[in-house]
Amino acid sequence: MCGIGITYFFLAVQTYLVDVYTLHAASALAANTVVRCIFGVTILLAGPALYNRLGLGWGNTLLGCLALTVAPACLWLLKYGERIRKNPKFMPDL
């Protein structure tokens, strides 16, 4: 279940980035990968301090709640993505 959720989330985000930055899609996907890797390293470095302070139960609960707050993002992109792409305020000329 976790793998399916991660795959669907990243698939929606990557598809959205390709739709938005058509000419520069490779650069947008590369920037997304860099940010994702930096976040992954940061979580690994902060993990021991998190679990030492909160313990396994509350540490996992905190990370699970953070994941649940991000989960509706793919549905939000499906609903409002076209409106955001058509709004010139959100899309600077590339």
Task: Convert the pLDDT of each residue in 49-71 to its tens digit.
Answer: 989 999 999 999 998 898 888 87
Q: How far does Cα 15 stand from its chain's mean position?
A: 12
CB 90 within 8 A of CB 84: yes
For the chain, the structural domain boundaries read 9-86
Gap between the Cα atoms of 62 and 67, Å rounded:
9
Report the mean per-residue pLDDT for the chain.
84
Residue type, 80: Y
Residue 83 is predicted with a pLDDT of 82
Q: What is the pTM of this model?
A: 0.58
* Torsion sign across C-alpha atoms 9, 10, 13, 15: negative
Low-confidence ranges of the chain (pLDDT < 70): 88-94
Strand runs labelled E in 10-67? none
